[in-house]
Amino acid sequence: MKEFDVIQVGNVIRKVRKNKNLRLEDLADENISPATVSNIERGVPHVSPDKPLYLLDKLGLTLEQIPQLLECETHKENKLLIRLMAIESSIGYGDSRELLSELDGLGIGDDHKFAPTVYYLKGKCHVADGNWKKAEKALYNESDWPVTTRRKKSTTSKLLHSVS
């Protein structure tokens, strides 16, 4: 049996659960608690190996489907990343309101791995428009994320000082 990255598998499980509009509690039963489901989704390594398999079965998935689901997720993330890079390249050259509308239209929630990037780009759009209060709010949201999920490119203070 092929080994998979527990974090990636957890992300797939979370996405499938959310697509089915299920809560953690909906998957819990006498064999698995909501906390264990959460630990699996977050890729916590101390979960016993039979629990993710049990959870996959409850979601109607097999281990054989994981590579395809991971590849699909990677493809979607790459397309989204390219779109975010294109938006960043357009800041300062186009209508910032359109770019902000496009960022909002992406539907990236706070639990998405690119959420800090979206806040960062919104902050840059507001800076380009000279809307300092909105820029500060967006950039504060970006900087409020753990270092492991934040963009490494810039910090809020660097961006604000570069335009003053």
* Closest to 100 in 3D by CA, of 64, 137, 54, 72: 137
Token pair listed for 92: 């300062």
pLDDT at 3 over 80: no
Looking at the whole model, is its pTM more than 0.85?
Answer: no
Q: What is the pLDDT of residue 63?
A: 84
Say how far apart CA 123 and CA 97 lie, in whole Å. Answer: 12
Q: Give pLDDT tens digits for 19-70.
A: 999 999 999 999 999 999 999 998 888 888 889 889 999 999 988 898 999 8
**pLDDT at residue 159 in the model:** 41
Eight-state DSSP code of residue 64: G
Task: Give span(s): CATH 1.10.260.40, the chain.
Answer: 6-61
Residue 113 is predicted with a pLDDT of 85
Other residues' Cβ atoms within 10 Å of the Cβ of residue 40: 22
Residue 29 dihedral angles phi and psi, to the nearest 5°: -155, -160
What is the C-alpha to C-alpha distance for residues 127 and 109, in angstroms, rounded to an integer? 22
Domain 6-61 has CATH 3.40.190.10: no
